[in-house]
Amino acid sequence: MNVRVKLGVTAFAVALMSGTALAASNDDFWAKAAEPYKGVVLHGVTESTPPSNYIKDVLAPEFEKKTGIKVEIETTSWDQMYDKAIKDMEAGTGIYDVVYIEQDIIYSYLARNFLTDITKALKDKPELKASTYDDAKFTSFANYFKQGGDLYGVPMEAFLKVYCYRKDLFNDPEIQAAFKKQTGHDLKPATTHEEYTEIADFFTQWGKDHNMQLWGSTAQAHTGHAASWYEYFESVAPTFGVYNWGIDASKNYAATVEHGGGMNSDKAKAALKWWLHLRDIAPPESAQSTWSEVATTFAAGRAAQGLVYGENAAWIATDASKSKVTGQVGFALPVLSPGVLDDAKSGKGYVGYYDGGAFGLPVSSKNQEAALLFLEFIGQDEVQPGWAVAAPRITNTATFDAPEVKAMDAKLGGFYTMLKDEGKLFAGAPPYPFHAQVREATAPIFYDILTGKVGPDEGLDKMAAKAEEELTSLGYRK
């Protein structure tokens, strides 16, 4: 054995022993810190998503093994999750020790003092602070869960809503030739709304002509679910240059063009008409599709392109047990109007939705310390790589460099690299504590637009006026 090999073996052995020692040390910490709470049963509620299911199936049992603290995670529908968590925190009943906080609702929770300051809690109880937990390691997405610099939720999922397209269709020679003959230019992923529409129209007609169950685009256009409202305001309108729902906080929270807002601006109306056209040429289930159904539609091979949440995009591309298009999914930025990309780069705007959530500790929890330990546990570097591969999400900067994540990134065609390099161009929901109230006030009008009871121009005029009416009643507009 030569010297280099000997040194390599020695270094490996030292690293292995160090890692083993570190793991043992970590296990000692969890056992010792959790000793006063052994036998406690924590209850959590979250939406049934791949990242949440990983917590329930993998991380919670692992935490119990190390601490003796049992964690029962209830995974349910999006609306039921909100309803159960909010009612519990409002009543102060303490049913839940851990609640899922979607990025767009955090400001409402903070305004109502629902959540425990995690940063302060760990300072007050230093004996509960794990050396393997460092909130400085979180990605910039964690900033959405801070107030005054302190963290109120441990990020557990974060992903972009991206433009997905079928590489097998876009690269098919027969389809390419037909598209070139019809349009005069090559078939490639769109960068503008006009290009996207042209491609969508082409593939919908191609499906009809060839007796295929194929349409040109997805559409998250449910006529009675908030998913459609969110698709328009958080994913479509920004690509036309309408940011923060068209509400301008600097102009007395104006929503109408008359008062300086943009909810019913020409850009907003153009965005809505563009999207409604796509809805009309999308698969028939689109009128009843939320984020989940859009994913299953794309995975079934029924759409040539579409906007898909990243939590779903990755399994669509890789999980053959659920998807018919594995290995054939390409990813790109959403299509944009001129100037939007520059706005995103300068911080004036954004290109689409940076979605995700965190696990928070309700003030009403009766098991604060035990729950605090669990939140630290899921925030550690060491639990992230497996989580990122099993349920595509990254909330910790160290995760990008993990070998298994890099391998998955290559398999996905750079999905994680896109999150790392271009995530800054996307944004979460605006920091409005009145988020739910304005959504609920305007959503019925939006559904009327979708069902044709009111036209898009008139409907947006009504929505903008209704938003200002609600903001006035809430005391935001003076």
Predicted pLDDT of residue 451: 98
CB-based contact 218:286 (threshold 8 Å): yes
Predicted pLDDT of residue 477: 96
**247 compared with 408, residue with greater pLDDT:** 247
Average pLDDT value for the chain: 92
Query: Is the per-residue pLDDT at 433 higher than 70?
Result: yes
Using pLDDT thresholds of 50, 70 and 90, give the confidence band for residue 1: very low
Query: Is the per-residue pLDDT at 9 higher than 70?
Result: no
Instruction: Give percent above pLDDT 90 in the chain.
Output: 83
CB-based contact 41:49 (threshold 8 Å): no
Q: What is the mean pLDDT of residues 308-337?
A: 93
Amino acid at 172: D
Stated pTM of the model: 0.85
Query: Is the per-residue pLDDT at 159 higher than 60?
Result: yes
Predicted pLDDT of residue 18: 35
Query: Is the per-residue pLDDT at 373 higher than 90?
Result: yes
* Separation of alpha carbons 399 and 383, rounded Å: 9
Using pLDDT thresholds of 50, 70 and 90, give the confidence band for residue 268: very high
Q: What is the mean pLDDT of residues 162-169?
A: 97
Q: What is the mean pLDDT of residues 155-168?
A: 94
Predicted pLDDT of residue 355: 86
Predicted pLDDT of residue 88: 97
Q: What is the mean pLDDT of residues 324-347?
A: 96
Predicted pLDDT of residue 166: 98
Using pLDDT thresholds of 50, 70 and 90, give the confidence band for residue 11: very low
pLDDT digits (tens, 9 = 90+) for 443-455: 999 999 999 999 9
Q: Which of the following CATH numbers is that of domain 34-158+357-412: 3.40.190.10, 3.90.1150.10, 2.30.40.10, 3.40.50.300? A: 3.40.190.10
Predicted pLDDT of residue 25: 56
Using pLDDT thresholds of 50, 70 and 90, give the confidence band for residue 78: confident
Measure Cα distances from 462 to 185, 296, 321, 432, 436 in Å.
40, 33, 45, 21, 18
Residues 6+ apart with CB under 8 A from 417: 409
Query: Is the per-residue pLDDT at 148 higher than 60?
Result: yes
Predicted pLDDT of residue 10: 33
Query: Is the per-residue pLDDT at 13 higher than 80?
Result: no
pLDDT digits (tens, 9 = 90+) for 208-258: 999 999 999 999 999 999 999 999 999 999 999 999 999 999 999 999 999
Predicted pLDDT of residue 7: 30
Query: Is the per-residue pLDDT at 366 higher than 60?
Result: yes
Using pLDDT thresholds of 50, 70 and 90, give the confidence band for residue 30: very high
Query: Beta-carbon neighbour count of residue 208 at 10 Å?
Result: 11
- 34-158+357-412 and 160-353+428-473 have identical folds: yes
Query: Is the per-residue pLDDT at 173 higher than 70?
Result: yes
Q: What is the mean pLDDT of residues 345-354?
A: 95
Q: Which of the following CATH numbers is that of domain 160-353+428-473: 3.40.50.300, 3.90.1570.10, 3.40.190.10, 3.30.420.40? A: 3.40.190.10
CB-based contact 113:90 (threshold 8 Å): no
* Separation of alpha carbons 365 and 368, rounded Å: 6
CB-based contact 341:425 (threshold 8 Å): yes
Using pLDDT thresholds of 50, 70 and 90, give the confidence band for residue 6: very low
Hey, where are the domains in the chain?
A: 34-158+357-412, 160-353+428-473
Predicted pLDDT of residue 2: 35
Residues 6+ apart with CB under 8 A from 68: 31, 34, 37, 38, 39
